Amino acid sequence: MGSLLHASIRVVDKKERGIEGVYVQFDSGKFTFSNKYGIVEIADETYTASDSLTFSHLNFKTRRLSVKDALESKKILLDSDVKQLGEVVVSNVTVNYEDYVREAIQKISQNYEYPFTRKSIYDIDFLFSVDNTEFISYKGGMVFSIDRAKKLYVSKVNYQENINPAWEDYVFDRKPYSFTTIVHIASHSVIYNSKKFAFYDYKEMEYKGKEALKVSFKTKKEKYGQSGTMIINKEDKAIVQLSYVIHPVKNWIVEKTKSGLVKTSLQGYYVESDYVKTDRGKYNFNSGRERILLEVEVKKQSFSTLCETYLKRKDNLQQPKTRMLKEQVFE
C-alpha cells in the first residue's frame, strides 16, 4: 500500500471554528497538535492508508479515523464533551458552593497523585521565540523523575529539537522549562493562593459523561488580575479542568542582572489543563497548554518573547537510561 504525502487537515467544532491544542496521535506513537486555527500538519512521513489517527482534546470527545479518511475529508468535526445544564441559583439551595470549592481544593492531597514519575511520559510540542524569530523548538517525549533532594530531572525520548544557544541571552525570569508548572494541580495560583480569589457563577453540567460543577473565579484585587473557570467532578469533588488568563501587567518583574536593570511586562498569559483518574484510583494531569507573551526592556532596548507549550500525558513503558536536571533540558 502506498505512502501518503505531506498534507494538512483542519479540526473544528459544530460551529466550524478551529480547535486549538487537539492532540493527534498516529498508530506509530508519533504525534502532533493542532495550531490556533485548528490546522494539523501531517509531516513528510510514511504512513499507510490503513493507519489511524486519534484526535483528543480536554473539551471534546475523542475521535479515531483512518489516515486515508482524515486526509480525504480535510475537515474533522469533534463533538463537545461538555453539556451545560443551567445556572445554579445559590439563594434557592442549601449548598454553600464557595465552601464546595474550598473543600475540593482541600481534598487535592487525597484525590491526586504526584505527576512527575517514571510511570508517565509527556508528549510535548514546545516553541520559544524572540521577536518572531524561533530560538527553541522541541517535539517529542519527556519523562520526569525526582530525587531525594526533590530536584526534578528530565529524560528526552524520541524527540526532535532545534536550539539556538543564544536563547539564554534573552530569557530572564521566565525560563522555557517553566511549562512544568502547569502539570501539578497544586502549582496553579488559584489552588495554592485560593484565599485571594473570589468564586462565583456556579453552573451544573456534564463533563465527559459525569455530573460536574463549573465555577468561575477571579482575583479579589485588580493588580496582577487573573480570571478563569474550573470544573469539579461531583462524585469525589476532584477538580478535573482548569482554564484561566492572567491579565497584562506593566513591569511584572523588575530585576538586576549582569546586563543591567531588566523590566519584564506581561502581555498575555493563558493556561488550560485537565486531570483524569488513573487506574491507580488517583487523579493526574492528562493534557494542557500554556502561552506566555512577554515584553522585556533592558538598556533602552525592548523585545518580545513568546513561549507556547502543548502537553499530553500517556503511560510510559520505557525506562530511560539518561536524565538531566530540568534546568538543563534546553542546553
User: What's the rounded mean pLDDT across residues 141-164?
Assistant: 88
Go through the chain and tell me how many residues it has.
331
Q: What is the mean pLDDT of residues 69-82?
A: 90
Q: Is the pLDDT of residue 35 over 80?
A: yes
Q: Find all residues with CB under 8 Å of 2, minimum gap 6, and list them.
A: 48, 49
Percentage of the residues of the chain whose pLDDT score is greater than 70: 89
| Strand pairing class (60-66; 31-33) | unpaired
- Does residue 170 have a pLDDT over 70? no
Hey, what's the cell of 313?
Answer: 500525558
Instruction: Tell me what pLDDT residue 317 has.
Output: 63
pLDDT of residue 2: 42
Distance CA 284, CA 315 (A): 11
Going 252 to 200 to 202 to 185, the CA torsion angle's sign is positive
- Contact (CB, 8 A) for 53 and 5: no
- The stretch 215-225 carries a mean pLDDT of 86
Q: In the prediction, which pLDDT does 308 show? A: 93
Average pLDDT over residues 177-185: 87
Whole-angstrom Cα distance, residue 158 to residue 29?
10
In angstroms, rounded to a whole number, what is the distance separating the alpha carbons of residues 313 and 181? 14
Q: What is the mean pLDDT of residues 275-290?
A: 93
Any idea where the domains of the chain sit in the sequence? 7-77, 127-133+168-313
Fold of 7-77: Immunoglobulin-like (2.60.40)
Name which of 272, 46, 271, 31 is nearest 141 in CA terms.
31
Q: Is 320 helix (H, G, I), strand (E, B) or coil?
A: coil
Question: How far apart are alpha carbons 115 and 96 in whole angstroms?
Answer: 31
**Residue 94 pLDDT:** 52
Q: Which of 251, 246, 263 is nearest to 193 (CA)?
A: 246
294 versus 84: the higher-pLDDT residue is 294
For 258: left if phi > 0, alpha if psi spans -120 to 50, otherwise beta; the answer is: alpha
Buried b (16+ CB within 10 A) or exposed e, 222-243: eeeebebbbbbbeeebbbbbbb
pTM comes to: 0.84
What would the pLDDT profile of 77-127 be if each residue is shown by its tens digit? 999 998 876 554 444 455 677 888 999 999 999 999 988 876 678 999 999
Residue 316 has phi, psi (to 5 degrees) of -110, 120
What stretches of 73-196 adopt beta strand conformation (E)?
Answer: 75-77, 82-87, 120-130, 133-146, 152-163
CB within 8 A of 4, min separation 6: which ones? 42, 46, 47, 48, 49, 67, 68, 71
What are phi and psi for residue 320, nearest 5 degrees?
-55, 140
Collapse the DSSP code of 81 into the 3-class scheme (helix H, G, I; strand E, B; otherwise coil) and give the result. Answer: coil
